């Protein structure tokens, strides 16, 4: 209650004795002491104001006069940390209560707290935290610098090592020393990676340079070695070694034994000083470190050919050796390989087992290649380059020509005349002899029909190769073509070279028998040059032996030839066979043969091979010739 511009706290009490007897009114002047007590109790600055209407009529405060307005202005505010600690525009947080409205005046009490003081501890805490934080960052930075030095140096070293490993340099030790366990682990991992890569690379290099089966060098690597030798202008000998019929060894004894033979041969070869390699299949190459003598090469061959004991079977191998002297015979690796092929082929064909290369071999080889190419072309597109000549066989008993031999002739646009000796064997090896045979059969049967039409009663003898005999479709084809010309089977006969029959004797017998069963005459050609045995002869379903011309050409001069031919004739007769002698070049031979009971004679003395038309004319001209 305002009284005389002073504020009083008034308490009105009823005095009961025991019924109310009086009302006591007690007033206390509200002044600074009261507020101080209040402040002491609440710990808050306290301001008391009294308003009459809008006008403030009384004010006391525990705050200094200057701050009261400010505290009052911050009523009901929610101060932010920023406004307290940084901008400091809210030092007080105040809350205001209206006391009872008394007799037209309104008393208002405002409790204020100095926010700055309130935050003082917090600020110092905040400062400490910031300081500790900064210190931690600083320490961390220093530690990181030290630590990174400890980590990054060995890591950089490892990175350098990794780069070296990448380019294939494994010489450096990878042990990077560090106090850090992880770096040591990494360095150990690097070391084991390096040695593993090195091992694997060595393995890959080994595989790239070696033949897996024999562990000898392979063709690729030996090519590099040869090129190196040529670059250094070295003089050296290359020895090619070829196992005879290696495919046959695989076929007969199985691949496992074939492989075993190769390994054994490789072992034997590596015992000698030099570089050994396997080129393909059964073909090896050896570069001796010194120039071997002829005796040494021979003894090397003997060593290599020692029987190979494969456990379940003992295999006898034969090798052919081709020698190439470099740089005289070849001046680069490609030439070495090419000429090795040539010389090894030749060594096999001619059965000269140790054969040095010479230029003539290559000429023959190239010629053989062009023969193959041209002959294939002729058979496909230009069969008019082929012709058949006929050579009469004279029956010595009746003095008449009863048989003629068909002999192929080939005059090629590029190669000129090529002798059958030069292309028949090549065609056999190259695997297209049956194309020649079918052409010959067709033409020979056509000509046989012409001979019949010209009243020439002769049997046409066709030469067959071993491959033809083994061909099961040949006989039906011959029968069919004969049939189209209405010719009997005795208008054809066949000659087979003796050597060809030995290779697969049993099968050959079956096929020959089929020819005999159809009524064809069969002769063994070039008899005496092969390996005939009595037992073998006895079993062969042939009716004629044709004595090779090498025994006949000089028959009148050579005692030995006479003995052989006489023996062959009596042998043939004892087996019930006829004999034809080819290569009769003079009357003396003809007489001898007739005396010994030889059935037929063929040779230049009687007539050279001649075209079909000439043969008809010749036969007509010689109808009454007395040959003996």
Contact footprint for ligand C2E (CB under 6 A) = 391, 406-408, 419-421, 424, 440, 463-465, 495, 525-526, 549, 582-585, 602-604, 609
Beta carbon nearer to Mg ion, 529 or 586: 529
Q: Are strands 6-16 and 2-3 parallel, antiparallel or unpaired?
A: antiparallel
Q: Which stretch binds Mg ion (CB under 5 A): 118-126, 264-272, 437-445, 494-502?
A: 494-502
Q: How far is the CB of 608 from ligand C2E (least distance, A)?
A: 7
Is residue 260 helix, strand or coil? helix
178 binds, among Mg ion, ligand C2E, none (CB under 5 to 8 A by kind): none
- Three-state secondary structure of 284-299: EEEEECCCCCHHHHHH
174 binds, among Mg ion, ligand C2E, none (CB under 5 to 8 A by kind): none
Q: How far is the CB of 479 from Mg ion (least distance, A)?
A: 22
Find out whether 154 and 176 touch, Cβ atoms under 8 Å.
Answer: yes
Q: How far is the CB of 408 from Mg ion (least distance, A)?
A: 11
588 binds, among Mg ion, ligand C2E, none (CB under 5 to 8 A by kind): none
Beta carbon nearer to ligand C2E, 303 or 557: 557
Find out whether 235 and 326 touch, Cβ atoms under 8 Å.
Answer: yes
Q: Does 500 bind Mg ion (CB under 5 A)?
A: no
Q: How far is the CB of 270 from Mg ion (least distance, A)?
A: 47
Find out whether 178 and 150 touch, Cβ atoms under 8 Å.
Answer: yes
540 binds, among ligand C2E, Mg ion, none (CB under 5 to 8 A by kind): none
237 binds, among Mg ion, ligand C2E, none (CB under 5 to 8 A by kind): none
Find out whether 69 and 128 touch, Cβ atoms under 8 Å.
Answer: no
609 binds, among Mg ion, ligand C2E, none (CB under 5 to 8 A by kind): ligand C2E
440 binds, among ligand C2E, Mg ion, none (CB under 5 to 8 A by kind): ligand C2E
Q: Does 495 bind Mg ion (CB under 5 A)?
A: yes
Q: How far is the CB of 518 from ligand C2E (least distance, A)?
A: 20
Q: Does 346 bind Mg ion (CB under 5 A)?
A: no
* Distance from C-alpha of 612 to C-alpha of 487, rounded to nearest angstrom: 17
Beta carbon nearer to ligand C2E, 304 or 601: 601
Beta carbon nearer to ligand C2E, 157 or 589: 589
Beta carbon nearer to Mg ion, 119 or 527: 527
Q: How far is the CB of 549 from ligand C2E (least distance, A)?
A: 6
Residue given tokens 């070296």 in the structure block: 164
CB atoms within 10 A of CB 259: 14
* Distance from C-alpha of 171 to C-alpha of 164, rounded to nearest angstrom: 9
Find out whether 47 and 71 touch, Cβ atoms under 8 Å.
Answer: yes
Query: Maximum CA pair distance of the chain?
Result: 202
Site string (439-468) toward Mg ion, x via CB under 5 A: ------------------------x-----
Distances (CA, A) of 491 to 18, 283, 407, 462, 615: 179, 48, 16, 11, 16
Q: How far is the CB of 204 from ligand C2E (least distance, A)?
A: 52
**Interface of this chain with Mg ion, residues 517 to 536, rule: CB under 5 A:** 525-526
465 binds, among ligand C2E, Mg ion, none (CB under 5 to 8 A by kind): ligand C2E
Q: How far is the CB of 450 from ligand C2E (least distance, A)?
A: 17
329 binds, among Mg ion, ligand C2E, none (CB under 5 to 8 A by kind): none
Q: How far is the CB of 485 from ligand C2E (least distance, A)?
A: 18
Q: How far is the CB of 434 from ligand C2E (least distance, A)?
A: 10
**Burial level of 610, CB count in 10 A (0-12/13-18/19+)?**
middle
Q: How far is the CB of 461 from Mg ion (least distance, A)?
A: 7
**Burial level of 454, CB count in 10 A (0-12/13-18/19+)?**
middle
Residue-wise burial string across 461-488, b where 16 or more C-beta atoms lie within 10 A, e elsewhere: bbbbbbbbbebeebbeebeebbeeeebe
**Cα 485 vs. chain centroid, distance in angstroms?**
56
Residue given tokens 């350098």 in the structure block: 160
Q: Does 223 bind Mg ion (CB under 5 A)?
A: no
Q: How far is the CB of 350 from ligand C2E (least distance, A)?
A: 18
Residue-wise burial string across 153-183, b where 16 or more C-beta atoms lie within 10 A, e elsewhere: ebbebbeebeeebeeeeeeeebebebeeeeb
Beta carbon nearer to Mg ion, 190 or 527: 527
Beta carbon nearer to ligand C2E, 176 or 584: 584
For residue 208, give the DSSP letter: H
* Distance from C-alpha of 480 to C-alpha of 102, rounded to nearest angstrom: 152
Find out whether 520 and 489 touch, Cβ atoms under 8 Å.
Answer: yes
| Residue whose Cβ sits closest to Mg ion | 495
407 binds, among Mg ion, ligand C2E, none (CB under 5 to 8 A by kind): ligand C2E
The residues of the shown chain that bind Mg ion, judged by CB under 5 A, are 463, 495, 525-526
């Amino acid at each position: 209650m305002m009284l005389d511009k002073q504020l009083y706290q008034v308490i009105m009490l009823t005095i009961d004795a025991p019924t109310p007897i009086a009302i006591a009114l007690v007033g206390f002047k509200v002044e600074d002491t009261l507020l101080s007590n209040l402040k002491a109790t609440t710990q808050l600055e306290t301001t008391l104001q009294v308003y009459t209407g809008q006008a403030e009529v009384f004010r006391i405060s525990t705050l200094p006069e200057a701050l009261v307005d400010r505290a009052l202005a911050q009523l009901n505010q929610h101060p932010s940390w920023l406004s307290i600690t940084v901008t400091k525009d809210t030092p007080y947080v105040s809350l205001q209560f209206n006391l009872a409205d008394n007799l037209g005046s309104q008393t208002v009490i405002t409790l204020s707290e100095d926010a700055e003081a309130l935050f003082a501890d917090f600020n110092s805490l905040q400062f400490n935290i910031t300081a500790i934080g900064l210190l931690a960052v600083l320490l961390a930075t220093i530690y990181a610098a030290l630590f990174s030095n400890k980590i990054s140096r060995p890591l950089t070293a490892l990175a350098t090592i990794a780069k070296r490993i990448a380019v294939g340099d494994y010489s450096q030790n990878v042990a990077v020393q560090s106090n850090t366990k992880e770096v040591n682990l990494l360095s150990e991992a690097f070391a084991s990676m390096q040695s593993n890569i090195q091992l694997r690379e060595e393995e890959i290099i080994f595989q790239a340079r070696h033949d897996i089966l024999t562990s000898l060098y392979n063709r690729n690597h030996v090519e590099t070695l040869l090129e190196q030798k040529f670059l250094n202008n070295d003089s050296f000998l290359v020895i090619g070694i070829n196992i005879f019929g290696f495919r046959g060894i695989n076929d007969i004894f199985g691949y496992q034994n074939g492989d075993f033979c190769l390994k054994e041969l490789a072992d034997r070869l590596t015992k000698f000083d030099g570089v050994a390699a396997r080129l393909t299949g059964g073909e090896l190459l050896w570069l001796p470190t010194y120039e071997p003598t002829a005796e040494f090469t021979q003894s090397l061959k003997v060593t290599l050919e020692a029987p190979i004991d494969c456990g379940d079977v003992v295999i006898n191998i034969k090798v052919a050796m081709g020698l190439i002297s470099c740089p005289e015979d070849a001046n680069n690796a490609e030439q070495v390989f090419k000429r090795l092929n040539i010389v090894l082929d030749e060594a096999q064909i001619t059965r000269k087992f140790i054969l040095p290369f010479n230029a003539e071999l290559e000429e023959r080889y190239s010629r053989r290649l062009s023969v193959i190419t041209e002959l294939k072309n002729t058979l496909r597109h230009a069969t008019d380059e082929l012709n058949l000549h006929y050579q009469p066989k004279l029956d010595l008993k009746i003095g008449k020509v009863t048989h003629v031999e068909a002999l192929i002739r080939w005059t090629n646009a590029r190669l000129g005349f090529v002798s059958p000796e030069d292309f028949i064997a090549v065609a056999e090896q190259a695997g297209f002899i049956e194309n020649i045979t079918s052409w010959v059969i067709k033409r020979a049967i056509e000509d046989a029909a012409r001979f019949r039409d010209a009243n020439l009663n002769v049997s046409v003898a066709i030469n067959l190769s071993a491959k033809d005999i083994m061909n099961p479709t040949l006989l039906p084809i011959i029968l069919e073509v004969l049939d189209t010309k209405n010719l009997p089977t005795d208008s054809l006969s066949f000659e087979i070279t003796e050597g060809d029959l030995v290779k697969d004797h049993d099968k050959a017998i079956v096929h020959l028998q089929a020819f005999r069963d159809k009524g064809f005459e069969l002769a063994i050609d070039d008899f005496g040059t092969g390996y005939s045995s009595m037992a073998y002869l006895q079993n062969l379903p042939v009716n004629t032996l044709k004595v090779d011309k090498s025994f006949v050409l000089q028959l009148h001069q050579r005692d030995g030839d006479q003995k052989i031919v006489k023996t062959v004739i009596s042998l043939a007769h004892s087996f019930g066979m006829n004999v034809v002698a080819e290569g009769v070049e003079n009357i003396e031979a003809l007489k001898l043969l007739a005396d010994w009971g030889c059935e037929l004679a063929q040779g230049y003395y009687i007539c050279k091979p001649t075209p079909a038309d000439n043969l008809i004319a010749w036969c007509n001209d010689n109808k009454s010739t007395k040959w003996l």
